[in-house]
Structures are given as structure tokens and as C-alpha cells.
Structure 1
Amino acid sequence: MATHDNILGNEVFNQRLLQEFYDSYDEELEMELDDLRFGAGQPGAEDEKAWRRRYFRELLHLQGELVKLQDWVMRTGHRVVILFEGRDAAGKGGVIKRITQRLNPRTCRVAALPAPNDREKTQWYFQRYIAHLPAAGEMVLFDRSWYNRAGVERVMGFCSDDEVEEFYRSVPEFEKMLTRSGIQIIKYWFSITDEEQELRFLSRIHDPLKQWKLSPMDLESRRRWEEYTEAKEEMLERSHIPEAPWWVVQGVDKKKARLNCISHLLQQMPYEESEQKAITLPRRERHEDYQRSPVPENMIVPEKY
């Protein structure tokens, strides 16, 4: 028979797993789910709902500031690259989604490069990343970056020790060259605990909507936690330069990590709100000979809802 401690432990674990499930969805949907999830009389229900509502308010405010930031970047011709690194399931994709959610995708792009193909493997290591660098007035967010060489490629044996050393000799000069050319580089490492990664992986395993996020590489990275730790520590030490320093985001609490990262990002550029010109909607022109052609019935999507 299970002991009381084991039962209690399982209940706590299941609650965290459920929270991880809800945290992966959009804020608007999550609010509706929370109304059902936190019924009256549950311990801590009101405190939890109050914090989540505060989170949504803060996030909306920060996203409004991001809109002002993007407008400033476009007006001034600024160029900025933001790197997001961290272990698998550390929350990089979540914060990138919240940053870009309300921005103009034409001038704020996400670069998430796949594994290099056979041709790219023969190129200068940084070559395939250069094509994604910003032009004037653009922001580019790298969901993983050239630091793959210092992390996954090194740990999984996809490159040699000599190639890793060459990367560490080159990367400071590469980033200094970019900053001298006028590109601002901001680097974030999302830090989570061993226990938190395990829980997030289990959530992906049991949630059909998130199973696509799990790859054999992710599972192998879980086994090699300590090797990734050693690689990460060396990476932060050897590539932390004044021109492009590393910033570590505490990522165990996803919502706090998002707010903290976005708030910090806004402080990295001296943006200011510009005076917006009043927009006047022009009157629609009407012509007596205009006739609208009917749409054929067989082209109309059935109204099931």
C-alpha cells in the first residue's frame, strides 16, 4: 500500500504537471482554463488567480513597450540581434513567442536554423548565420545560434575538440566585428534546474499537442545533463565579452522568466515613443454601375460553427 507521503508527493507532482500543461497555451485560453481549474474553496486558488491576472497585465504592458521599441528601431535604422540559448525545454520558445506576438513580422524576424546540410558543413562555420543578420531597422531573434558549436555539437560529438577551440578563438572576434559594423548583440541564457527539465520533458511526453517538441536529441541531452553543464559553464566564461555580454535568465518559473527577460531587453536600447500622426479613414468610393458577383456555393466553406 502506498504511504501517505508517496500519495502526497504524487499529488504535488501531478499538480505541477498540470500547471506545466496549462502554461504552454496562449494567455487568453489559459485564463479561461483557470476559471474552470481554480474552483471556489480550493486552497490558494484566489492567490494563484490574482498572480496570473497580474502576469497578463504586466505582459500586455511590456508588449506595448515592445511595439514602441520596434517603432524606434525602424525609425532610427538600428540593427539588433538577440540570441536565446539554454537547455532543451528551458523556455526559449515561450519568451520568443511573447516578444514577437504583437510586433510587425516584416522587421522582427525569428531565425531557427535546422541542422546544417552537407554543403553547409563544408562552409566557414559562421557563414550560414550571416544571411540572417538584420538590415537597418530590423530585429532578428535567434532561437539557438552559432553557440550550437559550444553546446549541442560539442556534447553530442558532432565536431572535434580542435573545432571547438577554433570556435572560441573566432567567436569573440566575430561578435566584435558585428558590433563595430553597428549591429547590437544581446545574448540570453535560460537557466533551469535538473528537476524542472525532467518535469517539462514528462509534460511533453504526455501531451499529444507537444510531443512534436521531443526529438531523440532531446532525450539524449537529458541523459547528458552533466556534460551540458560543463559545456555551458565554459561557454559563458569564454564568450562573455564587453561588446556582447551574456545575461542569465532564471527560467524555472516560466511566467516570471518571460516578464524579466522582456523587461531587461527593453532596457538595452534607448528607445523613446514617437508622436504618431492621426490616421483618417478615407471614405469609400461608390459607383452606380458597380455590381458584386455572387460567390459559387461550392466555393464556400461549410459553417459548422
Structure 2
Amino acid sequence: MVDPVDSKAVVLDIGGKKRAFDIDDPKLPGWVDDNAFSSGGYPYPDKLDKEVFAKTLEDLQAELVKVQFWLQKTGGRVMALLEGRDAAGKGGAIHDILAYMNPRNAHVVALTKPTETERGQWYYQRYIAHFPTAGDFVLFDRSWYNRAGVEPVMGFCTPEEYERFLAQTPRFEKMLVQDGFFFFKFWLDIGREMQLKRFHDRAHDRLKTWKLSPMDIAALNKWDDYSQKRDRMLKETDTDHAPWTVVRANDKRRARIEIIRSILTALDYEGKDKSVVGTIDSRIVCSGHAFLD
């Protein structure tokens, strides 16, 4: 549980209304609980049925196993970035994607803050060291896009470094695609009340409290700042060669299904069963520019 010495009640501006939120209080405020699922304009009233989710997920995971055999046979390389606000569901989605894939050739990269040596390197350098080789399937739980969001919001980079990143990244990513990478970028989007609910759940669950960081608490009053940086990121880096896929993620079940489905839809792998892959839900998934529009 969060140490009350290390966290404080805050007053948040939610839709023009001042709302008190104390993450140490074990009782979740009614205004959070009542609005969490629908927050951010989520298009469904309820979670995807648990049994439907389990069956659909298992079938899609079997397709991912086919993808891995195909990559090993052809030497293809898949790399996917999962980005989003804290508590957007990146880790859980990655877990379900990799659940039945061979960990020798399919794994997650989740880097900590850069070392002193890494801070002196070219910004992309420490990420490149983890890129997939032939036959590999690599997922980044956060990526170089830290410089498009958390770093400028929290003051961890200069304005010049931020602007340079936005200018250089489309060119950097174009090189990856030209070199033959199957490259995916997912932004998991959640509403504000949903984020607060998930933070609160973490704070009061002894198995998940490690997920709640001081950075999460510090960001409670920076929602609008993060939104502005997200929109600028999508505007500048949603390109034809490396597009963003925005996934509405208030319902973790639908989000995980649609992330996997999006990857499978884009790959022409051996033995692909299109009836299993299905059709991407346009109410949950859209492009970066469509999201901004």
C-alpha cells in the first residue's frame, strides 16, 4: 500500500469541476467509479464478455504461434512499440501477446532510466541494442517515445532535444521499414477517471502496488500536459511508413484482442486463418490522424 508520507491528496480539474482525490483513502470516490468505464468517450457500455474474450484470445494466440514459425522460416523481424499513459494496460497486453510464443525468439524490452553512459550516447542508441534479429518478435514496453511524452512533461529533456526528436524520428523509423522490419506503433488511450481508478486499484492491492510509482503521483495534475504532448506526437510521427494505431483501452479485454488482431491483419504469414483473425473493430481502433480529427 502507498506510504501516506509519500503521497498527498490532490485537487484535480475534471471537466471544469474541482475534484478531491486521495489515493491513500481505501474508498474509491464515487465520481471516479461511476465515470471510469465511459471516460474519454469510450464507445461500449460494458466489458467484453469474459468467456468470449478467453476464446477469442486463445484463437488469436494460436495465430501468433504460426507467426513465430513463419518468422523463423523466413528470417522476418517484428518490432512493436506499446505506448500510453501510466496504467493504460501496456504490460498486460504484452503478457497476453507473448503468453504462448517461444521466449527464445519473442520477448519484451522494458528499459529503466538511462545510465550516465547512455545519457552521453545518441538518443536512439540504447534502444537499437535491443532490436530484433532474423526470426525475432520484440515488443517494447515504452520506447524512444519517452522523449515525446514523459520527458518534456516532467522536464527530463530540453525543449531543443524535444523538437529535434520530433524532427528526426520519422526519418529514423523510415530506415527501419526500408530495412525490412515489420514495425508497429500502438498508443493505448484511456480516460482520466479510468486512469485514476487503476492507480487507486494498484495502491490498495498488495500484489500490484509495485506498479504505482512516485512518477504516477507526480503526474496526477499533468493530464492536460500529457494530452498536448500526445497530440503533438501523433501529428508529427504518424507517417505512411510508420503509422500509429490508437487503441481505446478502457476495456483491457477489447484492447488486447484488437492489438493482436491488428498485428495479425498486417502480416501475410503462412497458414493464416482469416476467419480467426477477424475484422478490426473500428470503434476501438483508429489511426493517429483519425484520432486527432
TM range (shorter): 0.7 to 0.9
RMSD of Structure 2 on Structure 1 (CA) = 2.1
Q: Distance in 1 between matches of 2:161 and 2:262?
A: 33
CA contact (8 A) 2:32 2:196 kept: no
In the TM superposition, what are the counterparts of 1:116-265 in structure 2 within 5 Å?
116-265=114-263
Structure 1: 5+ residue stretches without partners:
1-8, 18-46, 275-305
Q: Distance in 2 between matches of 1:194 and 1:12?
A: 9
Q: Distance in 2 between matches of 1:152 and 1:86?
A: 10
Over 3 Å counting, the alpha-carbon distance change for 1:229 and 1:11 in structure 2 is: closer
Report the secondary structure of 1:132's partner residue: coil
Alpha-carbon distance, 1:10 to partner:
4.6
1:197-250 deviations in Å (ceiling 9; x for gaps): 010000001111110001111111222111000000000110011111000001
Structure 1 equivalent of residue 33 of structure 2: 13
Alpha-carbon distance, 1:273 to partner:
2.1
Alignment: residue pair count: 235
User: Of Structure 1 and Structure 2, which has the larger fraction of its residues in helix?
Assistant: 1
Alpha-carbon distance, 1:11 to partner:
11
Report the secondary structure of 1:97's partner residue: helix
Q: Distance in 2 between matches of 1:253 and 1:199?
A: 13
Over 3 Å counting, the alpha-carbon distance change for 1:76 and 1:253 in structure 2 is: same
TM-score w.r.t. structure 2 length? 0.77
1:114 to 98, 112, 115: 112
Structure 2 equivalent of residue 88 of structure 1: 86
1:146-187 deviations in Å (ceiling 9; x for gaps): 000011111100000000111112111111111111112100
Q: Distance in 1 between matches of 2:139 and 2:116?
A: 25
1:64-122 deviations in Å (ceiling 9; x for gaps): 11111111111111011100000000011111000000000111111101000111111
Alpha-carbon distance, 1:12 to partner:
9.7
Report the secondary structure of 1:217's partner residue: helix
Larger Rg: 1
TM-score w.r.t. structure 1 length? 0.74
Structure 1 equivalent of residue 54 of structure 2: 56
Report the secondary structure of 2:131's partner residue: coil
Displaced runs of 4 or more, over 2 A: 9-14
Report the secondary structure of 2:242's partner residue: coil
2:73 to 72, 75, 84: 75
Structure 2: 5+ residue stretches without partners:
1-28, 38-45, 273-293
Q: Distance in 1 between matches of 2:147 and 2:30?
A: 39
1:102 aligned onto 2:122:
no
Report the secondary structure of 2:148's partner residue: coil
Name the structure, 1 or 2, with higher relative contact order (CA <8 Å, separation 6+): 2
Structure 1 equivalent of residue 284 of structure 2: none
